[in-house]
Structure 1
Amino acid sequence: MKNNMREIFMVVAFFMGGIILFLPQVVSAENANDVIEKVVNNLNGETAVMEISMEVKTSRTKRTMKMKSYSIKQEKSFIKILYPKKDEGITFLRIDNSMWQYVPRIEKT
Structure 2
Amino acid sequence: MKTTVGILFLFLSFFANAQDATEIIKKVDQKMRGNSSSSNMTMKIIRPDWSREISMKGWTLGTNYSLILITAPARDQGTAFLKRDKEIWNWQPTIDRVVKLPPSMMSQSWMGSDFTNDDLVKESSVVHDYHHFIRGDSTIKGYDCWKLELIPKEDAAVVWGSIELFVSKKDYIELLIRYYDEEGYLINTMILSEIKEMDGRIIPTKMEMIPAETPKQRTVIIYNNIDFDIDVDESFFSIQKMKRIR
Matched, 1:62 2:48: no
- For 1:47, the aligned partner's letter is S
Match of 1:102 in 2: 91
Higher strand share: 2
1:46 to 1:62, Cα distance in 2 relative to 1, 3 A? same
Deviation, structure 1 residue 45: 1.5
- Distance, in Å, in 2 between the alignment partners of 1:95 and 1:104 is 20
- For 1:39, the aligned partner's letter is K
Which protein has greater RCO, CA pairs closer than 8 Å, 6+ apart?
2
Structure 2: runs of 5+ lacking an equivalent = 1-18, 99-246
Match of 1:82 in 2: 71
What do residues 19-78 of structure 1 show as CA deviations (whole Å, max 9, x unaligned)?
xxxxxxxxxxxx658845752564121101010101001122111000000000111000
Higher helix share: 1
1:46 to 1:57, Cα distance in 2 relative to 1, 3 A? same
Match of 1:16 in 2: none
- Distance, in Å, in 2 between the alignment partners of 1:68 and 1:84 is 13
- For 1:57, the aligned partner's letter is I
- For 1:67, the aligned partner's letter is M
Matched residue SS, 1:89 = coil
Matched, 1:92 2:81: yes
- Select the structure of larger CA radius of gyration: 1
Matched residue SS, 1:87 = coil
1:75 to 1:83, Cα distance in 2 relative to 1, 3 A? same
Task: Report the RMSD for the aligned CA atoms in angstroms.
Answer: 2.1
- Distance, in Å, in 1 between the alignment partners of 2:29 and 2:46 is 33
Summarize the alignment of residues 22-37 of structure 1 with structure 2, pairs less than 5 Å apart: 32=20, 35-36=23-24
Matched, 1:39 2:19: no
1:35 to 1:80, Cα distance in 2 relative to 1, 3 A? same
- Distance, in Å, in 1 between the alignment partners of 2:69 and 2:55 is 9
Structure 1: runs of 5+ lacking an equivalent = 1-30
TM-score of the pair, normalised by structure 1: 0.63
- Distance, in Å, in 1 between the alignment partners of 2:85 and 2:55 is 24
| Runs ≥4 residues deviating over 6 A | none
1:63 to 1:33, Cα distance in 2 relative to 1, 3 A? closer
Matched residue SS, 1:53 = strand
TM-score of the pair, normalised by structure 2: 0.30
